[in-house]
């Protein structure tokens, strides 16, 4: 339970800092997601190191680990438009539909302009 809360807190910190993590990685493969997450963690650590030399509020880092009040809220809800986007994406990548659209387009162009070029 404690590890899960630590991971959720860390992920929430990264989401707050980097907008690319807030939005779903719908069109990426696991390798790209991993590289993006690694880059964000590295950038976050570099920012923390840079800010360490400056002034900071110590109370910001002294949270109660047993308290859920400080834990970031991460939504598990998938927006409804995501399913629609995934359906459209699958439809676009359908090779049979793609070939049919190409054939229909050629037929349409031939019917409309074929006599002018014959």
Tell me, what's the pLDDT at 46? 84
pLDDT: which is higher, 113 or 65? 113
pTM for this prediction:
0.43
Average pLDDT, the chain: 76
Q: Taking the domains of the chain in order of start, what are their residue ranges?
A: 1-76, 77-118
Query: What is the average pLDDT across 90-98?
Result: 81
Helix (H) or strand (E) holding 102: helix 95-117
| pLDDT class of 104 with cuts at 50, 70, 90 | very high
- Is 34 a residue whose pLDDT tops 70? yes
């Amino acid at each position: 339970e404690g590890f899960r809360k630590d991971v959720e807190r860390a992920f929430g910190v990264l989401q707050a800092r980097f907008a690319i993590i807030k939005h779903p990685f719908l069109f990426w493969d696991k390798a790209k997601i991993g590289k993006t997450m690694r880059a964000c963690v590295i950038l976050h650590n570099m920012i923390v190191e840079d800010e360490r030399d400056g002034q900071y509020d110590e109370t910001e880092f002294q949270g109660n680990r047993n308290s859920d009040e400080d834990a970031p809220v991460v939504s598990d809800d998938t927006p409804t438009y995501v399913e629609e986007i995934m359906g459209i994406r699958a439809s676009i990548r359908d090779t049979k539909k793609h070939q049919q659209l190409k054939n229909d387009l050629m037929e349409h162009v031939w019917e409309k302009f074929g006599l002018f070029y014959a």
